[in-house]
């Protein structure tokens, strides 16, 4: 073939590739000759379905933990014992169909809710314990309900109080004064306690009196119109429109504004603040200004008719029948929907509800948890995102450290040989002989408690990196020993190229694929090692999460038997990450050396 025809054929092939035109099929040998080694490796890897599956799974896990933890940042110090060990699911606001359009009263508990319809039928929904499922006799007609931490009470049309759920420390022992009362005005299920206010203005309470600090002045009896509670104390609204705290303790809750006394028409309390609405519709808040609780929306000022308080939020009903919520909005409990015909409101813990004049019930707030919660009430899904980011970051940095050391030591040892080789390889063997886990445990015990959390994490990454390079160094040494005898190395020496340049710019690029494969497999090992350290308590410690210490907190037989979500989801995430990385490494090895499949 003439030189002109060769140039024409090459130009035609280039045009076809530029414009995406399909090339004529050639036999496999000619195709291999036209492709670069890199394209051949990529093609071999893509054709490996198992390796591609591993790559896709790892990319999904990596993107989920890093992007997810950035979108939903974790407050490592957050705890909420009212939400502890909640099972996965989003049924906490699954309002029963019979109540949804015929509601009369509703109340919110910690992880469940109760309601009564206009026909007097009782309902409950959400995360129900075995005791809560034992509801009162449905032959009764009910007019009021109230839900607490893990118990509920209801008032029948005959004026009788019934209770069900947890019966700790006398919660089921209704006082005789309440049983004999015929003029009950309000019932309230609080934190491990129950309360009743009568039309005659008397307050009665029973249950775990150590849970709440309550002291009722005898002079108040006969003058009480309403009672509200939070996790620490209780407040009453008197018939002469004053607010009184039922505790002598000196807390921010005691700073009741003097100017509102004698002019209050409704009150509400949450676990950070107390709010009162005066006759002019103004809302006054005192306590602790967390979550913007003091920042009452303009839509509520001057128009509020009623108030309700959740765990860290308030909800107000205005005179024009709209609803306004503010405060903590982590679960959407402060994002009230646009309602124009609300007749009554209710709030509790992390949910709010509104009932319109026709009995239609609307709710907003916490629907549930994707992966449940742990023993401190922390969202397992959010901790898995932050824990995965921490585990992968530690593993990645440790691998980078070990790769840099291994490449340098292996390259120098393999190229120079002789006494340099002997010295470096003997040193590598000494490092390999060090037992990693005992050494890491000893170092963690000696200096770990003296370091900050960041220092402890940095120490783990450095230890992992400094003790995991010898295997890579030996592999690089073997590759360089073989490559230094190649013709291109001899030619480079003849051209006077410096030895370090020759090692790291000419020889290493020709063995870099081996480095990539080894690094990929080492990454999986580092993930397991970090998780092992955290699992036995010598790695990253609480409250900072990793997949390892999440498994550590779930190793008791009680958790394994009753709270499966606390160990199943972290173990699945760790297993999938390690397996997918190993599949990627195996696929890269097979793509680089296809003949390895035949061996």
Domain end, chosen from 333, 365, 397, is at: 365
Same domain, 325 and 469: no
* CATH code, domain carrying 334: 2.130.10.30
Instruction: Judge whether 284 and 260 are in contact, CB under 8 Å.
Output: yes
Q: Which of 1-10, 276-285, 554-563 has the highest mean pLDDT?
A: 276-285
Distances from the Cα of 157 to the Cα of 119, 120, 141, angstroms: 11, 8, 6
Report pLDDT digits (tens) over 164-180: 999 888 898 999 999 98
Following DSSP, what letter does each residue of 3-28 receive, concatenated?
HHHHHHHHHHHHHHHHTTPPPPP--H
- Percent of the chain surpassing pLDDT 70: 91
pLDDT band at residue 266 under the 50/70/90 scheme: very high
Tell me the residue range of the domain where 212 lies. Answer: 97-365
The answer as to whether 285 is a domain residue is: yes
The answer as to whether 479 is a domain residue is: yes
Same domain, 335 and 226: yes
The CA distance from 381 to 316, in Å, is 32
Same domain, 540 and 427: yes
Same domain, 544 and 589: yes
Instruction: Judge whether 544 and 497 are in contact, CB under 8 Å.
Output: no
pLDDT of residue 28 exceeding 50, the answer is no
Lowest mean pLDDT segment, chosen from 275-289, 383-397, 497-511, 576-590: 497-511
Same domain, 339 and 488: no
Report pLDDT digits (tens) over 217-242: 888 999 999 999 998 889 999 999 99
Report pLDDT digits (tens) over 306-335: 999 999 999 999 999 999 999 999 999 999
Same domain, 349 and 205: yes
* CATH code, domain carrying 477: 1.10.3720.10
Name which residue leads in pLDDT, 337 or 591: 337
Q: Is the peptide bond before 543 cis (omega within 30 degrees of 0)?
A: yes
**Running DSSP on this structure, what letter comes out for residue 259?**
G
Q: How many domains does the chain have?
A: 2
Give residue 449's pLDDT: 65
Quick one: the chain helix, strand, coil %, rounded to 5? 45, 20, 35
| The dihedral sign for the CA sequence 210, 214, 219, 220 | negative
The answer as to whether 471 is a domain residue is: yes
Lowest mean pLDDT segment, chosen from 137-151, 211-225, 317-331, 580-594: 580-594
Same domain, 396 and 253: no
Same domain, 433 and 329: no
Angle of helix 436-447 relative to helix 453-467, nearest 10 degrees?
Answer: 150
Same domain, 227 and 359: yes
């Amino acid at each position: 073939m003439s030189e002109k025809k060769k140039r024409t054929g090459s130009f035609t092939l280039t045009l076809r590739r530029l414009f995406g035109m399909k090339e004529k099929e050639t036999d496999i040998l000619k195709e291999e000759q036209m492709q670069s080694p890199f394209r051949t490796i990529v093609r071999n890897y893509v054709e490996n379905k198992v390796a591609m599956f591993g790559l896709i799974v790892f990319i999904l896990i990596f993107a989920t933990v890093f992007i997810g933890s950035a979108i939903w940042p974790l407050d490592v110090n957050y705890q909420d014992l009212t939400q502890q060990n909640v099972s996965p699911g989003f049924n906490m606001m699954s309002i029963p169909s019979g109540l949804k359009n015929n509601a009369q009263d509703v109340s919110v508990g910690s992880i469940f809710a109760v309601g009564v319809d206009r026909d007097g039928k009782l309902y409950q929904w959400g995360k129900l314990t075995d005791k809560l499922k034992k509801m009162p006799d449905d032959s009764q007609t009910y007019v009021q309900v109230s839900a607490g931490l893990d118990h509920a009470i209801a008032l029948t049309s005959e004026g009788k109080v019934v209770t069900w759920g947890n019966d700790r420390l006398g919660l089921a022992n209704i006082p005789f004064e309440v049983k004999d009362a015929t003029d009950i005005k309000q019932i309230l299920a609080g934190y491990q306690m129950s309360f009743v206010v009568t039309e005659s203005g008397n307050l009665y309470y029973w249950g775990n009196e150590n849970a709440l600090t309550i002291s009722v002045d005898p002079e108040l009896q006969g003058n009480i119109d309403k009672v509200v509670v939070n996790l620490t104390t209780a407040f009453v609204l008197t018939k002469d429109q004053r607010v009184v705290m039922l505790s002598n303790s000196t807390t921010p809750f005691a700073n009741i504004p003097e100017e509102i006394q004698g002019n209050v028409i409704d009150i509400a309390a949450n676990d950070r603040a107390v709010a009162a609405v005066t006759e002019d519709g103004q809302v006054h808040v005192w306590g602790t200004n967390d979550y913007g609780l003091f920042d009452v929306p303009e839509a509520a000022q001057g128009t509020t008719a009623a108030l309700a308080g959740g765990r860290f939020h308030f909800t107000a009903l205005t005179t024009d029948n709209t609803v306004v919520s503010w405060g903590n909005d982590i679960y959407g409990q402060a994002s009230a929907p646009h309602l124009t015909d609300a007749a009554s409101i209710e709030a509790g813990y992390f949910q709010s509800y509104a009932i319109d004049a026709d009995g239609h019930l609307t709710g907003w707030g916490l629907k549930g948890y994707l992966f449940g919660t742990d023993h401190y009430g922390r969202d397992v899904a959010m901790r898995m995102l932050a824990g995965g980011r921490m585990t992968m970051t530690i593993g990645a940095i440790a691998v980078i450290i070990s790769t840099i050391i291994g490449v340098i030591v292996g390259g120098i040892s393999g190229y120079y040989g002789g006494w340099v080789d002997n010295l470096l390889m003997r040193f590598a063997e000494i490092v390999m002989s060090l037992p990693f886990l005992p050494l890491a445990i000893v170092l963690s015990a000696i200096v770990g408690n003296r370091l900050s959390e960041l220092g402890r994490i940095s120490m783990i990454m450095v230890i992992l990196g400094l003790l995991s390079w010898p295997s890579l160094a030996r592999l690089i040494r073997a590759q360089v020993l073989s490559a230094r005898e190649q013709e291109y190395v001899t030619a480079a020496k003849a051209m006077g190229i410096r030895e370090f340049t020759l090692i790291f710019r000419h020889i290493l690029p020709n063995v870099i694929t081996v480095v990539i494969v080894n690094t990929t497999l080492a990454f999986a090992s580092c993930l397991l090692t970090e998780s092992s350290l955290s699992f036995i308590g010598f790695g990253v410690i609480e409250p900072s999460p990793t997949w390892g210490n999440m498994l550590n907190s779930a190793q008791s037989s009680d958790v394994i038997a009753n709270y499966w979500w606390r160990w199943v989801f972290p173990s699945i995430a760790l297993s999938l990450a390690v397996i997918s990385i190993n599949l990627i490494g195996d696929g890269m090895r097979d793509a680089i050396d296809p003949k390895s499949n035949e061996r």
